[in-house]
Amino acid sequence: MKELKYHLLSLLVTALVAGSFISSAELSGVINPFSLTLLRFSLAALMMSPFIFIRFERIKIARKVFPRSLVMSFFFSLFFICMFEALTTTTALNTGTLYTLVPFLTAIAGAAIFKQKLSPKLLLIYILAAVGTCWVIAKGDYSVLLALDFNYGDVIFLLGCVSMVCFSLSMKVLNRGEESLVTVFCILIGGMVWMTLAMIVFQQPLGWEALSFNLGAHMMYLALFATLASTYIIHKTTIVLGPTKVMAYIYLSPVFVALFMLLFSGQQIPLAVYPGILLSIASTCLLQIFNRQS
């Protein structure tokens, strides 16, 4: 019961990230990925700054956390760059399918770093969870998955998935017990540093004037909910539950996407999708039960 709050928070952040795939697809190709990610981090950091600068102790802590946050923010930034870049040449179906690798890769890496056991039973559950997720993504039509044509964009997004694994693990490894609010702020500032350097090296323009009101609303969602709120929640839950348990909730991401499309776009969920939804939910619950505490 003590961990219930953090499991509920993990569910919330899964829903927030699921919504980010919809907004990211709208924004991809409009502006270069470096500039989009810089704007995303800048808006989130701006909203958070009053809570940091209002207390001098938090400024002192930030100075100590910032060097470590540069490592975490590097992996975090790389994931978003890969997402925006990949979606210019590949589909949401492909990226959603590849994203199912993140929990399994996190479990493998966690087993190596934190000396966790990865039993055959757990491996089977991971496979079932991936099957359930892909079932939802393909809307119950296995021929869609068989017809997937992976391309350069998918290779880019696969790199992003590996980066997300590294980001999750680094939050656990580099944690020294500092206040999550300060750590998240430093991660955002670190992301701004990496994005600014990337734009200078690759000579990319800002191009923010290309954002319409509708696209601006998508960017505000990414900044406020999918970046600021989700990063804060992921940091707190990863420290308590461990990266393996937190990343396991990714298997529910397509379920949330389907629900959002039903609620906000009126797109009905086909009956063929429901077995995949049930399999994803059941597998995620089993992963929480059988994964050892990190």
Average pLDDT over residues 215-235: 91
User: In this predicted structure, what is the pLDDT of residue 26?
Assistant: 84
User: In this predicted structure, what is the pLDDT of residue 269?
Assistant: 80
Q: What pLDDT band is residue 272 in, cutting at 50, 70 and 90?
A: confident
Distance separating alpha carbons of residues 42 and 63, to the nearest angstrom = 19
Q: Is the pLDDT of residue 253 over 60?
A: yes
Over pLDDT 70: what percentage of the chain? 97
- Calculate the average pLDDT of the chain: 87
Q: What is the pLDDT of residues 170-184, one digit of tens each?
A: 998 998 888 889 999
Q: Tell me the HSE value of 140 on the side-chain side, using a 13 A CA sphere.
A: 11
Q: Which of 18-32, 141-155, 185-199 has the highest mean pLDDT?
A: 185-199
Average pLDDT over residues 241-266: 84
Sign of CA dihedral 260, 264, 269, 274: positive
Q: Is 288 exposed, middle or buried (0-12, 13-18, 19+ CB in 10 A)?
A: middle
Average pLDDT over residues 122-130: 87
Q: Is the pLDDT of residue 294 over 50?
A: no
Q: Is the pLDDT of residue 149 over 90?
A: no
User: In this predicted structure, what is the pLDDT of residue 2?
Assistant: 64
Q: Is the pLDDT of residue 27 over 50?
A: yes
Q: What is the pLDDT of residues 6-17, one digit of tens each?
A: 999 999 998 998
Q: What is the pLDDT of residues 185-213, one digit of tens each?
A: 999 999 999 999 999 988 889 989 988 99
Q: Is the pLDDT of residue 32 over 70?
A: yes
DSSP one-letter string for 129-178: HHHHHHHHHTTT-HHHHHT----HHHHHHHHHHHHHHHHHHHHHHS--S-
User: In this predicted structure, what is the pLDDT of residue 292?
Assistant: 58
Average pLDDT over residues 105-116: 83
Greater confidence (114 vs 214) lies with 214
DSSP one-letter string for 215-252: HHHHHHHIIIIIIIIHHHHHHHHHHHH-HHHHHHGGGG
Distance separating alpha carbons of residues 58 and 6, to the nearest angstrom = 24
User: In this predicted structure, what is the pLDDT of residue 199?
Assistant: 92
- Reported pTM: 0.84
Average pLDDT over residues 44-65: 92
Cα dist. 165→154, 183, 250 in Å? 17, 18, 12
